[in-house]
Amino acid sequence: MRKLSILTILLFLSFIPTPTKGEVIDRILAQVGDEIVTWHDVLMYAPSQVRQINTLPESEKKSAMDAYINSTLNIIIDSRVLEISANRMGVFVADAEVDDLIVNISSQNYAFRNAVQTVMNREGRVTPEIRLFVKTVLLQEKLRPVLINRAVVAEEEVYEKLKSDPASSIGEDEYDLSIIFFPDRAVYNNFTEKVKTSDFFKAAEETGQSVIKMGYITKGYLLPEIASRLDKIAVGSISEPIVDSEGRYMVLMVGDVRKKTAVSEQVLEAAEENMRSERMDMVFQNWLDKSRQSIVIHKEI
């Protein structure tokens, strides 16, 4: 092989173009695993926002651009972390899948369609922001079946959840309750004398008192002073006097008790699905946080 002289090498190098002073080809802003995020990636993420920032007065431009760069860089880093973590689980999304979903965006659910359309209207074309968002959604959807076994919800948990919900009547008796409030002890005493020879409602009328008919209600909706007495009152009988936190005397009358020990399949399925969705979100976030710890992330800014 012929050896080149030093002069020949120097002449060859002199013809290689070099950047002029002050010219920046690109700048690395972050590294996520083996991948880099450049200045160009960030600027091209949402071009219209960059153009808008460039129209601001000089006094506002720098802070606005810094905010845009930091926010966009974090979004790109998070998406790269998700993709690397998903790939390790054997989950991949091809560019063709992203293209296909964007083309068929009109057939997607409203929230997803609206999010993509909002960016499309702002940018006037498909930008890296849209592609990254769509890819992230596809990755998350593909990961759900992989992680779903970590989000198991037992039937006992669903029942306990329903029981702890004040708006749910599962496992709680419903009381057909009527209440009378008395302005003072004297009026109460007068009522107790009348009720000895009359019924609850007639005695109230004779003493000029209004009866509040609550209808069927569970303990969760009642004052503690009332709820604690219900099980001690026989159906059709009247309670002993109760004094509330404001010093008012009251009596209760229970007309009937409906036992609630079952729940419809519809309510049970809806509650189970809601719990599974909440648990899936938690499982997904825990998995992503753990995966993130094993990925080298280095921000240059």
What are the tens digits of pLDDT across the range 71-89?
999 999 999 999 999 999 9
Residue 276 pLDDT greater than 60, yes or no? yes
Quickly list H helices, the chain: 6-14, 39-45, 47-54, 58-88, 95-103, 110-123, 128-147, 155-164, 185-195, 200-206, 224-227, 265-293
Minimum mean pLDDT range among 43-57, 147-161, 243-257 = 243-257
46 band by pLDDT with thresholds 50, 70 and 90:
very high
Instruction: Give the pLDDT confidence score for residue 23 in this predicted structure.
Output: 47
166 band by pLDDT with thresholds 50, 70 and 90:
low
Residue 9 pLDDT greater than 80, yes or no? no
Residue 165 pLDDT greater than 80, yes or no? no
Structure tokens at 41: 């990636």
Q: Write down the mean pLDDT value for the chain.
A: 83
Instruction: Give the pLDDT confidence score for residue 63 in this predicted structure.
Output: 95
Q: What is the mean predicted confidence (pLDDT) over 118-138?
A: 92
Structure tokens at 46: 């949402």
Contacts made by residues 144-153, CB under 8 angstroms, sequence distance 24+: 144/280, 144/284, 146/89, 146/90, 146/91, 147/280, 147/283, 147/284, 147/287, 148/280, 150/283, 150/287, 151/276, 151/279, 151/280, 151/282, 151/283, 153/272, 153/275, 153/276, 153/279
Instruction: Give the pLDDT confidence score for residue 223 in this predicted structure.
Output: 80
| CB 238 within 8 Å of CB 195 | yes
> How far is the C-alpha of 301 from the C-alpha of 282, rounded, in Å?
30
Whole-number percent of the chain with pLDDT over 70? 85
The Cα diameter of the chain in Å comes to 129
Minimum mean pLDDT range among 122-136, 139-153, 171-185, 266-280 = 171-185
Minimum mean pLDDT range among 46-55, 57-66, 91-100, 199-208 = 199-208
> Quick one: which H or E segment has residue 215?
strand 212-217
Pairing, β 297-299 against β 212-217: unpaired
> How far is the C-alpha of 301 from the C-alpha of 297, rounded, in Å?
12
Q: Nearest CA to 187 among 172, 203, 165?
A: 203
> How far is the C-alpha of 133 from the C-alpha of 79, rounded, in Å?
8
Instruction: Give the pLDDT confidence score for residue 187 in this predicted structure.
Output: 86
Pairing, β 174-182 against β 35-38: unpaired
What domains are there in the chain, each with its CATH number? 24-166+266-301 (1.10.4030.10), 172-258 (3.10.50.40)
Instruction: Give the pLDDT confidence score for residue 99 in this predicted structure.
Output: 93
Q: What is the mean predicted confidence (pLDDT) over 196-220?
A: 86
Instruction: Give the pLDDT confidence score for residue 253 in this predicted structure.
Output: 74
Q: What is the mean predicted confidence (pLDDT) over 28-46?
A: 93
